[in-house]
Amino acid sequence: MGAPRQMWASAPWAEDEPLECTMIIPETADCATIAFRAPSGAWFDYQPGQFLTLELPLPGGPVHRTYTISSSPSRPLSISITVKAGPDSLGTRWMLDHLRPGMRLRAKGPAGAFSFLRHPARKYLFVSAGSGITPMMSMTTWAWDSGEMPDIVFVHAARRPADIIFRRRLEGFAARVPGLQLRFTVEDVDPLEVWPGYRGRLNQIMLGLMAPDYQEREVFCCGPEPFMRGVREMLAALGHDMTRYHEESFAAPAPEGVTVDIPAPAPVSELAFAASGARIASDGSETVLSAARRAGIVIPSGCNFGLCGTCKVQKLSGEVAMVHNGGITEDEIARGLILACCARPQGTVVLDL
Ligand code: FES
């Protein structure tokens, strides 16, 4: 255990510096918070609710995984994510089994538009399930630290009370300020524990009891895609103004019901790589990411559906058809950057790789 030390650099952390793991804190039986610092002492500048993409050195080669940040930028000396390994997880499983304090990882970000700072409102409704609680925790900690807790109804769904991540910390906040109201619902109770919260899946009646004025609230939702779809459809059916509904997902390419116009494949496309000299033919229906992989060029990627920005590459010439989910700005597109995971070459395209 190290002695306390002064560590404060004048510049914010930039992604060319690896992150050093400092702590791994168990949260529930299958979930842990992993805290990182910048070895230079740089501080972290981001918006509560944003995400970070980590490069994980798996035995078969590095993989990129995107995680919502669970810490708050109001505590800028470290940054943390809170992870739970699903049954098919590779990257998160590796972190829980192998990552130890002192190890360093490359990271990109922070990025993302899912933050209540971008949608100022008098009243909020946070709705989360499972590890979808992480961006809500970041935003709630920010509100607490700022000393101006807005009116937040915080609804969280979990399997059992023991699975509620951050329960004690949130109850500590809620016990001290009037603005934060916690509403937990669980599918099953724990043995030998009195459960005073809701029981069962979130539904319209439950929502009406938890937040009778939900129509007046700016809604932030995060959780598994089926959960978010249920919340989205429920609110839409109840006549909620869906321009005031925001969700974060790292699991689905595009919300159901959203049609995406992908131009018909260009008859003959070619991808050329200026730095390596490689070239590969493509019919224009596959993404730049997979065509590059066929040419033996690995472009780092995370979400694979245009959200995290990990696969951003510089295009030198040519046209691509690109349908993204917010992982790139208009300004970056104007400068010729593309997201390889969701861009399809239209004719000959030259990349700076
Ligand atoms: S991999 Fe996330 S935007 Fe392409």
Residue 254, pLDDT > 60, answer: no
Q: What's the pTM?
A: 0.80
Residue 303, pLDDT > 90, answer: no
Whole-angstrom Cα Rg for the chain: 22
Q: What pLDDT, in 10s, does the model give residues 53-98?
A: 999 999 888 888 889 999 999 999 999 999 988 777 888 899 999 9
Residue 253, pLDDT > 50, answer: no
In CATH terms, is domain 19-110 a member of 3.30.2310.20? Answer: no
Q: What was the pLDDT predicted at 6?
A: 59
User: How far from chain centre, in Å, is Cα 179?
Assistant: 26
Residue 255, pLDDT > 80, answer: no
- CA 93/CA 88 separation, integer angstroms: 9
Residue 7, pLDDT > 70, answer: no
- CA 54/CA 56 separation, integer angstroms: 6
* Domain range summary for the chain, segments of one domain joined by +: 19-110, 116-248, 269-351
Both tokens of residue 99? Answer: 């990552």
Stretch 320-347: mean pLDDT: 90
Q: Please give the number of the atom of ligand 1 that sits closest to the Cα of 301.
A: 1
Q: Please give the number of the atom of ligand 1 that sits closest to the Cα of 325.
A: 3
Q: What pLDDT, in 10s, does the model give residues 111-149?
A: 888 999 999 999 999 999 999 999 999 999 999 999 989
Q: Is the CB of 303 under 6 A from ligand 1?
A: yes
Q: How far apart are the first and last CA of the chain?
A: 43
Q: Cα(202) to centroid of ligand 1, in Å?
A: 31
Q: What was the pLDDT predicted at 243?
A: 95
Q: What's the pLDDT band for 334 if we cut at 50, 70, 90?
A: very high
**Which pairing describes strands 269-273 and 245-248: parallel, antiparallel, or unpaired?**
unpaired
CATH of span 116-248:
3.40.50.80
3-state DSSP call for residue 310?
A: coil
What kind of architecture, by CATH, is found in domain 269-351? Roll (3.10)
Q: What was the pLDDT predicted at 42?
A: 93
Among the residue ranges 100-109, 112-121, 247-256, 263-272, the one predicted with the least confidence is 247-256
Residue located nearest, by CA, to atom 3 of ligand 1 = 306
